[in-house]
Amino acid sequence: MQKIIPHLWFDKEAKEAAHFYASVFPNSKVTSETVLTGTPSGDCDVLEFEIMGTTFQSISAGPYFKLNPSISIMVNFDPSQNPNAAKLLDEVWAKLSEGGKALMPLDAYPFSKRYGWIEDKFGMTWQLILTNPEGEERPVIIPSLMFANAAYGKAKEASDFYLSVFNDAKRGAIAYYPANMPPHREETVMFTDFKLEGQWLAAMDAPGEHAFAFNEAFSFIVSCDTQDEIDYYWGKLSAVPESEMCGWCKDKFGVSWQIVPSMMDKVMRSGDQDKIDRLTKAFLQMKKFDIATLEKASE
């Protein structure tokens, strides 16, 4: 089971978005649909879906947070794995362009013969890149964090921190900006990637003023089997007490996490609405989750 799961918050579009992404990307599908009732946002659609082998979750929970480019999804198209990778990249770009807008045009760049950064009609941003088949094999899906504004210059510190928190963690590449590339500050991170519990992430520093920052619209679920795990990750990652709610917390860099017991996923997939409703009523009263209380409530 995937340990770290990207999670997308929508106003009312979680179901539409999940099915759209399943239709846009190859080997992708919606795997479950659940409705949470009695929440402060009313009835909330919760969906789980796969994009090219990576599990995502989404929720419709009101207009409180909006997706933005601070966290995007990098999608690697590798010609050594698929001879039609370039054609497939263009097809995905065309579908994401419907109602969307390009942040960086699909074109040739020094780091790739084919690359583009696009915001889709739901506000989610994607970086599509044709991977160099002569280089090291790259994971297909990589959430990419942009450290901007108050977080500028902290990509290295943040990635070091995440590597220290999670097990089975390692850094991949890291490249820094040189002194002769203003407005970039020397030794800030041009690009780094790192693996946490099997999930690759990337990070970069972005100078200048940007009209966005990390928020709860894009969070990372950490699936935990035991209360000790929940206590550990909560203790390490929660740094903003006022952001603690229903298993959600925010770290010292502003990135949002959900520290969630794996038993919740089993209940959500059970199809037993009474059990789901009891579980929901219990967790709405919590900040950090207590597995014993949740198990008792669901049963």
In this predicted structure, what is the pLDDT of residue 298?
Answer: 85
127-183 pLDDT, tens digit each: 999 997 776 777 999 999 999 999 999 999 999 999 999 999 999 999 999 988 888
Please give the pLDDT value at position 184: 86
Q: What is the DSSP letter of 10?
A: E
- CB-based burial, 30-47: b 16+ in 10 Å, e otherwise: beebbebeebeeeebbbb
Neighbour tally for 250: CB within 10 Å? 21
In this predicted structure, what is the pLDDT of residue 292?
Answer: 96
The three-class DSSP label of residue 251 is coil
Percentage of the chain surpassing pLDDT 70?
A: 99
Phi, psi at residue 244, to the nearest 5°?
-80, 120
Burial code (b: 16+ CB inside 10 Å, e: under 16) for 149-168 equals bebbbbbbebbebbeebbee
Structure tokens at 172: 């991949």
Nearest-angstrom CA–CA distance, 155 and 226? 30
Domains of the chain from N-terminus onward: 4-63+215-298 (3.10.180.10), 71-206 (3.30.720.100)
Which residues, given as ranges, of the chain have pLDDT below 70? 135
Residue 287's SS3 state is: coil
Phi, psi of 60 (to 5 degrees): -100, 110
pTM of the model: 0.96
Q: Name residue 104's beta-bridge partners.
A: 117
pLDDT of residue 237: 98
